[in-house]
Structure 1
Amino acid sequence: MPVAVGMIQSLGFPSILAAADAVVKAGRVTLVYFDKAERGQFAIAFRGPISEVKQSMDAGLEAVEKTFGGEIISHYIVPNPPENVVAVLPLEYTEASEPFR
């Protein structure tokens, strides 16, 4: 099954929390990464089937826009990431995320 990685970076913790919530509720995706970016920016990454990632991305972006003070800094989807990208970047399924696949 072809998989994709989606990434959303936003300004402010409330907006990224709303995005993460919307992303996992909108499709069969797994949240695999969360971290602070810089200057009050936060980022999340999620993986799943390509069609589900696209659907979840739309829901996450809408959630950021609806959150007071939320601002989308960047977002993108990488369909079928090669193994060398997954090995280097923190996008792999971990033991902590495995129960939610």
Structure 2
Amino acid sequence: MPLAVGVIQTDGFPPVLAAADAMLKAGRVTLVYYGLAERAEFLVAVRGPTSEVRRAVEAGIEAANTTPPGGRLVSHYLVPNPPENVESVLPLEFTAKVERFRV
């Protein structure tokens, strides 16, 4: 079964931290990437079943939007069934660090 990918990008650290926390609590997903996108923008990516990733992204969006001033939600997207070429280019695989947390 293919696993969906959900990504949230924020401007500033507090909103991405709040989004990541909300995403992991809202759905049965695994955090596969977290990092700096550009300037002061951060990304967080999760993988899991499509319905769980959708719920997690919605919770992450709400958390990022309600974080106190100093940051904002820049963008978000959900890819229900990423093709292999996307997985080979982007850091979306389950690494050794996250494999033990895989759901």
Q: TM-score, normalised by structure 1?
A: 0.95
Q: Which runs of 4+ in 1 moved over 6 A?
A: none
Q: Which amino acid aligns with 1:38?
A: E
Q: How far 1:76 moved relative to its partner?
A: 0.3
Gaps of 5+ in 1: none
For this pair of structures, how many residues does the alignment match? 101
Provide the residue aligned with 2:84 in structure 1. Answer: 83
Distance in 1 (CA, whole Å) between partners of 2:41 and 2:89 is: 22
Output the CA distance in 2 between the equivalents of 1:38 and 1:89: 16
- 5+ residue gaps, structure 2: none
Map of 1:2-41 to 2, 5 A cutoff?
2-41=2-41
Kindly provide the CA deviation profile for residues 12-70 of structure 1, in whole angstroms up to 9, marking residues without a partner as x: 10110010000011011011011111221101111000000000000000000110123
Identical residues among aligned pairs (%): 61
Q: d(CA) in 2 for partners of 1:23 and 1:87?
A: 24
**TM-score for the superposition, normalised by structure 2:** 0.93
